Amino acid sequence: MKIYDWHIAPNPRRVHIYLAEKGLHIPLVEVGEGFVLKQDYRDKFPQAMVPLLELDDGTTIGECMAICRYFEALHPDPPLFGTDPMSSAQITCWENRANEEGIMAVGEVFRNTHPEFADRGLPGSAEKIPQNAALVERGKARVNRFFQKIDGQLSNNQFLAGDTYSAADITGLCAVDFGGWIEMGPEDKFGEQFPNVRRWHKEVSSRPSAKA
């Protein structure tokens, strides 16, 4: 099996960190080339997004959390998606928020401002999608709201979904570090308003997996 990867990108990082936490080593195939995915990868997989897990029989699994949950089912320890119905529900809830309200909000700002994405306002699209300037300010407001939300959650929880490190922290870390790409990360001036995020960010960033 192998994982098609774009090492600098925030979504593949969710899987890198997850695998490192599990102590799993899956071969990575780099398909990023500067700011685009290689043409032969896009021809082979028209959904044109990474990460993508390909099994030896050619079956593919896309979407970070689908990939992680596949490995979780095969290798349950250490558990990163909870151990009982409540912990599992809390992790799913905060992981989703980190993706939809964090990563996607930063992406909205980044993709609609960076010159390299002038015709690629959305990922995974073969046709040209022009940038939309109206989404930039709204995206920043979303990022701000996301930081406020997780700062509140982290004011009385060690980790995003409670007192145990989980997949929610993995996506959360990728989201707030991605915020740094638009100067809205925990270490930026913006981050000064969110002391609980800073405390948590320091802790989860110090895990060896954060460097995966």
Pick the stretch among 42-50, 149-157, 161-169, 197-205 that binds ligand GSH (CB under 6 A): 42-50
Asked whether position 64 contacts ligand GSH by CB under 6 A, the answer is: yes
Pick the stretch among 117-125, 142-150, 188-196, 202-210 that binds ligand GSH (CB under 6 A): 117-125
Between CA 198 and CA 204, with CA 200 as vertex, the angle to 5 degrees is 120
Fill in the DSSP letter of residue 159: B
**Shortest Cβ distance from residue 29 to ligand GSH (Å)?**
14
Helix (H, G, I), strand (E, B) or coil at 47: coil
**Shortest Cβ distance from residue 185 to ligand GSH (Å)?**
16
> What is d(CA 73, CA 23) in angstroms, rounded to the nearest whole number?
15
Q: Which of 79, 123, 162, 180 binds ligand GSH (CB under 6 A)?
A: 123
**Shortest Cβ distance from residue 119 to ligand GSH (Å)?**
11
> What is d(CA 105, CA 21) in angstroms, rounded to the nearest whole number?
26
> What is d(CA 194, CA 212) in angstroms, rounded to the nearest whole number?
26
**Shortest Cβ distance from residue 6 to ligand GSH (Å)?**
6
Tokens of residue 12, six digits: 């593949």
Nearest to 97 by CA among 145, 163, 49: 145
Q: Which of 3, 5, 11, 197 binds ligand GSH (CB under 6 A)?
A: 11
Residues that bind ligand GSH (CB under 6 A): 6, 9-11, 37, 48-51, 63-64, 120, 123-124
